Amino acid sequence: MSHANYYGVIMAGGRGTRFWPRSRRSHAKQVLRVLGERSLIQQTVDRLRPLLPPERLWVLTNDYLRAEIIRQLPGVPRRQILAEPAARNTAPCIGLAARILHSLDAEAVMGVFPADQVIGRPARFLRLAGAAFRAAERGRMVVLGIQPRWPETGYGYIEFPEGVRPGSLKPAPVLRFREKPDRSTAEQYIAAGRFFWNSGMFFWRADVFLKALRRHLPKAATLLESLPAFSHRHFGSRLRETFPLCENISVDYAMLEKAKDVVGLAAGDIQWNDVGSWNAVYELLPRDAEGNAGSAGRLAVASRGNYVDAEGKLVALLGVENLIVVDTPDALLVADRARAQQVADLVKLLERRKREELL
């Protein structure tokens, strides 16, 4: 095997409702330019380029987003940008990618990357990803752990043995996957020093993954094996019949927590951020002397710590603090930054009120 067998699978099916009102079904978080001039998915592709040219990338998304992603990623062959017929979480999604890649290249090694993360130190990340690919090539299932910077309760954790060295390119055994902890547990994890955030980035050979799928998720495995060859003219229609029947479950929960032989790379400081909310964007952006950030077209008087996102419009802030202000042509959000996570609840409220035009 060689680098020519390395493929990237970009998972881009999420909605990113916490980025409402900019994030919509047909314009979700991963295709937004919330940090810089390139969208999050474009940044993901850019970052991988030294290791994986766009021709070797596959993108799994949905019908709402496919056209926009094709537009944003001209280097990725169009037929490699697939719409999942239904949202079935990560296990069937990765299973489908593994099924297709394996049918095209029996020796395919795949790296799985969420489309909506940022990494401030891409060179360090690429060294880790390269090491992960090499371990995957040798038959291991590899997960990338991120050294935690605070006791986050919104992520799963990877438990490594004592003595794990952040930044090492040598994979370490994963003792256990830990689901999202409560605050005090998260603090214990940080103190212990051997619990790492689960980044959602995975590396394995397609055949190895399909074997694990058969063991842990036999129904999905059977359904995906029943598909005709990717080039077959009925592939799309069969996928639309089959895929919705797969279990709706994450790869972490369905497989990794049960597999015995998973290894991990413990990343040091690669400035990873999953850009989970408008507040995360605020934290990542440069701020002015008053701690305001975002759109250049703002005028702040006696105002501190605000994030502004408004295109082609002056936003005047007067005596306000720690707000998120996001303006779009049909919806405007004004929120306390401390409640950035609850923006997702606003979207649920709009769904209940059948405000489809705003979703």
| Cis peptide bond prior to 21, omega within 30° of 0 | yes
Of 192 and 338, which CB lies nearer to a second copy in the complex structure?
338
Using CA atoms, how far residue 146 sits from 150, 152, 160, 253, in Å, is 11, 12, 12, 19
Of 80 and 295, which CB lies nearer to a second copy in the complex structure?
295
Using CA atoms, how far residue 62 sits from 48, 101, 227, 255, in Å, is 22, 19, 19, 23
- Helix 90-104 with 206-216: angle, nearest 10 deg: 140
Beta strands in 109-181 (DSSP E): 109-114, 118-119, 141-146, 157-159, 172-173, 176-178
Q: How far is the CB of 303 from a second copy (least distance, A)?
A: 8
Of 261 and 345, which CB lies nearer to a second copy in the complex structure?
345
Q: How far is the CB of 295 from a second copy (least distance, A)?
A: 10
C-beta of residue 110 within 8 angstroms of C-beta of residue 204: yes
Of 219 and 313, which CB lies nearer to a second copy in the complex structure?
313
Query: 292-296 contacts: CB < 8 A, separation 24 or more?
Result: 292/317, 294/325
Q: How far is the CB of 325 from a second copy (least distance, A)?
A: 6
Of 178 and 339, which CB lies nearer to a second copy in the complex structure?
339
Q: How far is the CB of 24 from a second copy (least distance, A)?
A: 13
Q: How far is the CB of 289 from a second copy (least distance, A)?
A: 17
Query: 279-283 contacts: CB < 8 A, separation 24 or more?
Result: 279/307, 279/324, 279/337, 279/338, 279/340, 279/341, 280/340, 281/34, 281/35, 281/307, 281/309, 282/307, 282/324, 282/337
Of 21 and 114, which CB lies nearer to a second copy in the complex structure?
21
Q: How far is the CB of 154 from a second copy (least distance, A)?
A: 18
| Chain positions contacting a second copy, by CB under 8 A | 20-21, 299, 301-302, 310, 312-320, 323, 325, 327, 329-336, 338-339, 342-343, 345-346, 349-350, 355, 358
Using CA atoms, how far residue 58 sits from 113, 201, 291, 322, 344, in Å, is 10, 15, 39, 39, 28
Of 117 and 295, which CB lies nearer to a second copy in the complex structure?
295
Of 128 and 323, which CB lies nearer to a second copy in the complex structure?
323
Q: How far is the CB of 19 from a second copy (least distance, A)?
A: 13
Q: How far is the CB of 181 from a second copy (least distance, A)?
A: 25
β-pairing, 157-159 vs 109-114, is unpaired
